[in-house]
């Protein structure tokens, strides 16, 4: 007999919420079901990541194997993971020249790239590879500004990157993303395999830095205050990251408070997952953002980190 999962869960929930002598038992049952649900979700995520890996062809696996060169390549070195929040405009980042730095998305719009370029530059959002005119213009401007950085892009964007020459092939490496970071059973980061898809590219860069052995890892520009500014695109630069991009401009997540709240919750759980992995490996992660809402990592003052 086929069991209707929703009806079953509804009946179990109603039973557990009843008051009476069996309240303690019901609370225990509720806790047990919560644990089982979490374990089932992690198993589901593990299966998704495994399926994603098995679905790749020999060429794609060979491309991923090239990421081996990055394993522990910055062992014990300090790294700065830079977000694009408005707070970056209030911080003097000129002294980061010579440091191991990770940038994302529209960072090329910062005037500092005339002085130094980030060591690594990640562009893993699928919206960058939609083939739109806005996307082409974005990459054209990026290539003019960023001529030394090593790029990380999603492997499922490789075809359009190659066909349109969006990124320099000799400096571009690919990541396989699958599942969801906040729900995954991830315990170790391996860029030669599928890694869980983070909720922001900033998290992707933290995972990459961990794979490279960076320690400590310092986060800046992670304002993460969207809940107080729903409907606004807030960066250190004016306007949208990619102009004339229909899907990005119509994204309901930027104007719907409930959708935003659900996203932020998942994002925070992703950071909790990252911190758990880092703690297990003895990697220190600090948040040196000027203000902002991210409270998963201990704070430190950015200016005091200058050598």
Q: pLDDT tens string for the chain (307 positions)?
A: 344 555 555 555 655 555 555 555 555 555 555 545 555 666 666 666 666 666 789 999 999 999 999 999 999 999 999 999 999 999 999 999 999 999 999 999 999 999 999 999 999 998 899 999 999 999 999 999 999 999 999 999 999 999 999 999 999 999 999 877 877 767 789 999 999 888 899 999 999 999 999 999 999 999 998 888 776 668 999 888 887 665 554 454 566 788 888 888 999 999 999 999 999 999 999 999 999 999 999 999 999 999 7
Domain borders along the chain are 5-45, 56-305
Two tokens at 173?
């490496």
Indicate the SS3 state at residue 195.
strand
Contacts of 46 (CB under 8 A, 6+ apart): 179, 184, 185
Q: What is the CA radius of gyration of the chain?
A: 21
Q: What is the largest CA-CA distance in the chain?
A: 71
DSSP annotation of 299 reads B
Q: DSSP of 79-127, one letter per residue? A: EEEE---GGGGGS--GGGTTSEEEEEGGGGGSGGGGT---SEEE---GG
- Quick one: the chain helix, strand, coil %, rounded to 5? 50, 10, 35
**9-46 as b/e, with b when 16 or more CB fall inside 10 Å?**
eeeeeeebeeeeeeeeebeeeeeeeeeeeeeeeeeebe
- Give the architecture-level CATH label for domain 56-305: Alpha-Beta Complex (3.90)
Give the helix/strand (H/E) hosting 249: helix 246-249
Two tokens at 147?
């001529």
């Amino acid at each position: 007999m086929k069991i209707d999962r929703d009806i079953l869960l509804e009946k179990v929930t109603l039973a557990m919420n009843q008051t009476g002598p069996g309240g303690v038992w019901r609370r225990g049952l509720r806790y047990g079901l919560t644990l089982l649900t979490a374990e089932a979700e992690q198993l589901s995520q593990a299966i998704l990541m495994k399926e994603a890996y098995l679905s790749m062809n020999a060429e794609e696996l060979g491309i991923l194997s090239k990421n081996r060169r990055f394993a522990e390549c910055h062992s014990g070195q300090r790294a700065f993971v830079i977000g694009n929040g408005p707070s970056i405009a209030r911080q003097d980042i000129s002294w980061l020249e010579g440091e191991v730095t990770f940038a994302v998305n529209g960072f090329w719009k910062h005037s500092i790239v005339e002085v130094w370029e980030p060591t690594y530059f990640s562009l893993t959002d699928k919206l960058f590879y939609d083939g739109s005119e806005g996307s082409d213009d974005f990459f054209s401007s990026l290539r003019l500004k960023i001529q030394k950085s090593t790029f990380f892009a999603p492997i499922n964007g490789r075809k359009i990157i190659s066909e349109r020459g969006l990124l320099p092939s000799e400096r571009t490496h690919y990541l396989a993303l699958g599942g969801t970071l906040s729900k995954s059973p991830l315990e170790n980061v391996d860029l030669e395999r599928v890694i869980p898809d983070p909720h922001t590219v900033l998290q992707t860069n933290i995972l990459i830095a961990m794979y490279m052995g960076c320690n400590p890892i310092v986060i800046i520009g992670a304002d993460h205050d969207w809940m107080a500014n729903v409907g606004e695109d807030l960066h250190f630069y004016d306007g949208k990251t990619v102009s004339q991009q229909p899907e990005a401009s119509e994204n309901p997540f930027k104007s719907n408070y409930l959708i935003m709240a659900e996203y932020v919750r998942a994002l925070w759980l992703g950071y909790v997952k990252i911190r758990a992995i880092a703690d297990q490996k003895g990697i220190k992660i600090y948040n040196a953002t000027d203000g902002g809402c991210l409270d998963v990592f201990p704070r430190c003052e950015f200016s005091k980190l200058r050598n």
